[in-house]
Amino acid sequence: MKKYVPNILTIIRILLVPLFIWFVFFSDIQSHYIIATLLFIVASISDYYDGMLARRFEVISNFGKIMDPLADKILVIAALIALTLPPIQFVNIFVLVIIILREVAVSVLRSYYSKKKIYIAANIWGKLKTVFQMFGIITAFIYYSIFQYFQENLTPYHENITQIFKIFFWIVGIITILSGITYFQKGAKNA
C-alpha cells in the first residue's frame, strides 16, 4: 500500500489545481482568496511529501515522473498569472513570461535528455527558484487575503507593499534565469 502513497498525493495535487484556479479566478464568495491560498499551501505541502515518500519507499513511477512536475508547473503558473493580473498585480508581466519560458524550455530539454538516458539533478539555483517562488506566492496570497478584509487600514501602505512584491518577484525572475542557464550548461556537458 505504501508504494501508492506518493502517486495518491500527486493525484490529490492534480485535483487541487482546478479548485485553486476556480477560487482565484471565478469564485465570487468573499473569502475566495483565503480558500485559494489554503489550497495552494496544501498542494505545496503534498508536493514536498510525495517526493520525500517516493525516495524513502524507493517507488519512482512513470506516472509520478510525468504528472508530479506537470501538476507543480500548472499550479505555480496559475498562481503567478493570478498575481500578475488585476486586481492583485504583484508580478510584472515580463517576470511571468520569463518564468513560463524557462519552465517550457527546461521541460523540453528534460524530455529530450531523458530519451537519451541523461538525467540532470536539480542544482542550488533550481532549489532556490522553487523556494523563492513558493515563499513569494504564499506570502503574496496571504497578504492579499488580509488586504481584502482590512482595506481601509492597509490602503495607505498598499502601494508600497505592491512595489516590494514586484521587486521580490523580479529577484525570483533573475534566479529563474540563472537556474535555466545552469540547467542548459549541465545538459550540454552531459550530452
Is residue 24 within 8 A of residue 85, CB to CB? The reply is: no
* C-alpha span between 19 and 83 (Å, rounded): 17
Is residue 136 within 8 A of residue 169, CB to CB? The reply is: yes
Q: What tens-digit pLDDT sequence spans the chain (191 residues)?
A: 677 788 889 899 989 999 999 999 999 999 999 999 999 999 999 888 888 887 888 777 777 777 888 888 899 999 999 999 999 999 999 999 999 999 999 888 888 887 877 777 777 888 899 999 999 999 999 999 999 999 999 999 999 999 999 999 999 999 999 999 988 887 777 76
Residue 131 confidence (pLDDT): 92
* C-alpha span between 25 and 39 (Å, rounded): 14
CA distances from 188 to 23, 112, 116, 118 (A): 41, 12, 13, 11
Q: Which CATH number fits domain 2-190: 3.40.50.10490, 1.20.120.1760, 3.10.20.30, 1.10.3720.10?
A: 1.20.120.1760
Residue 51 confidence (pLDDT): 80
